[in-house]
Structure 1
Amino acid sequence: MKRAILAAAVLLSLGACASNVRQPDNTENACRLFAERRDFGRAVMASEQKWGIPAGVQLATIYHESSFRGNAKPPRKKPFLFIIPRGRISSAYGYSQALDGTWDEYRAGPGRGVARRDNIHDAADFIGWYMAGTSRSLGVSPDDAYNQYLAYHEGRGGYSRGSYRSKSWLKSTASRVERRSELYQLQLTACR
């Protein structure tokens, strides 16, 4: 009997972990996304309150960084001798695709050492924290999804140096982030 109870508890906890990283079905409409996954709504709205970064900017960033998959990872490097697997092209992970070093910086501050990149609450708080820092240090408006995304992707130093200028693919992605952010904001205004 004790074994059966223990096994059930383990299965329930594994199911809870899996649901935390499961991609939602409704990622095109912010209202439907929040209705399907209330934890996403609570996380993004709490981050907006705390850091002043609009929900639409955060959602568009998550959409383009991880497609709302909590366990998202970048692709692997090309295999050595075409068969031997190698590491990933970067240390990015989770909803926010935060790199190890930047995530460690966040965990040493507002993340309190326990934040996880595959937790939507922590990921939304990270995005809000990072973009609020970009607003303070670089003067990028919190609702300027285009430039916030460029600085998020390239890092503040890279953005300051203009590293994105020679990357037409990245500027195109930033434009898509901007359009999606505007769409999400309109949707959220309609369903609030």
Structure 2
Amino acid sequence: MNLMVKAAGWLLAAVVLTGCAASPPRNPENICAIFEQHGSWHKAANKAREKWGAPVHVTMAMMYQESSFKHDARPPMRYFLFIPYGRASDAYGYAQAKKATWGDYQRESGNGWSSRDDFDDAIDFMGWYMSKTSKVNGVSKWDAYGQYLNYHEGWTGYRRGSHHRKGWLLKTSRKVEARAKRYAGQYWQCKDQLNRGWFG
């Protein structure tokens, strides 16, 4: 009987925790609307900025591209003759971080209990990655285009110029750059109110 009670307790806890995951923003094209809906996200983005020097509008534009702000985002399943045979990579979560890279982040940042489907951890990961990109490859943290290319190809791939052979990636990186610029303009209009706690 005790085992049944414990099992029911664990099941209930799992359901509650699953329900705690934040839903994607209703208006992901407007950074002010995103932070108005999810006030804790603004605090987390600001912490990442203070800790790693990663501009809020750049991290958010990159995260939009990676997961559309879905906590459990994964690469699409691959198929052969209608038979699924796995995903392109083990990337997961808000930041679409791979296990190996996430492990590096955990060791270097000291955030060993971090989770890829937690927004605060994911945006801190992105700040860490952008900071390393700046140190390793000399790409400004404000350069959304160059930062996204590094994020997608990895530091070594970027140095080797692997992105030059991927026209689709160059176009996607320009989309991230354009979104970051829009986010920056929007954020300029509302960040004072956000910082004063008028939203959320």
Q: Please, what TM-score do these two structures have when normalized by structure 1?
A: 0.90
Superposition pairs for residues 8-27 of structure 1, below 5 Å? 11=12, 14-27=15-28
Superposed displacement of residue 19, structure 1: 3.6
C-alpha distance 178-22 of structure 1, shift in aligned 2 (>3 A): same
C-alpha distance 41-54 of structure 1, shift in aligned 2 (>3 A): same
Superposed displacement of residue 11, structure 1: 4.7
Q: Which has the larger strand fraction?
A: 2
Aligned position for 2:85: 86
The answer on 1:116 being equivalent to 2:115 is: yes
For structure 1, which segment, 36-45 or 150-159, has the greater mean C-alpha deviation from structure 2 after superposition?
Answer: 36-45
C-alpha distance 137-180 of structure 1, shift in aligned 2 (>3 A): same
What SS does the corresponding residue of 2:85 show, helix, strand or coil? coil
| Equivalent position amino acid for 2:74 in 1 | K
For structure 1, which segment, 12-21 or 118-127, has the greater mean C-alpha deviation from structure 2 after superposition?
Answer: 12-21
Task: Please report the RMSD computed on the Cα atoms of aligned residues, expressed in angstroms.
Answer: 2.1
Aligned position for 1:61: 62
C-alpha distance 13-96 of structure 1, shift in aligned 2 (>3 A): same
Q: Distance in 1 between matches of 2:25 and 2:45?
A: 15
| Equivalent position amino acid for 1:109 in 2 | E
Aligned position for 2:139: 140
What SS does the corresponding residue of 1:109 show, helix, strand or coil? helix
Q: Please, what TM-score do these two structures have when normalized by structure 2?
A: 0.86
Superposed displacement of residue 108, structure 1: 1.5
| Equivalent position amino acid for 2:78 in 1 | K
Aligned position for 1:28: 29
Q: Distance in 2 between matches of 1:111 and 1:146?
A: 28
Superposed displacement of residue 17, structure 1: 3.0
Aligned position for 2:156: 157
For structure 1, which segment, 175-184 or 7-16, has the greater mean C-alpha deviation from structure 2 after superposition?
Answer: 7-16
Q: Distance in 2 between matches of 1:62 and 1:19?
A: 20
Deviations, residues 12-53 of structure 1 (Å, cap 9, x unaligned): 763443342521212111111001011211111110111001
Aligned position for 2:50: 49
Q: Distance in 1 between matches of 2:109 and 2:165?
A: 34
Deviations, residues 54-108 of structure 1 (Å, cap 9, x unaligned): 00100000000000001000011213xx244211111110000011110111112
| Equivalent position amino acid for 2:46 in 1 | M
| Equivalent position amino acid for 1:62 in 2 | M
Q: When the two structures are aligned, how many residues end up with a matched partner?
A: 187
Q: Which runs of 5+ in 1 are unaligned?
A: none
| Equivalent position amino acid for 1:146 in 2 | Y
The answer on 1:37 being equivalent to 2:38 is: yes
Q: Distance in 2 between matches of 1:87 and 1:13?
A: 26
| Equivalent position amino acid for 1:51 in 2 | W
What SS does the corresponding residue of 1:86 show, helix, strand or coil? strand
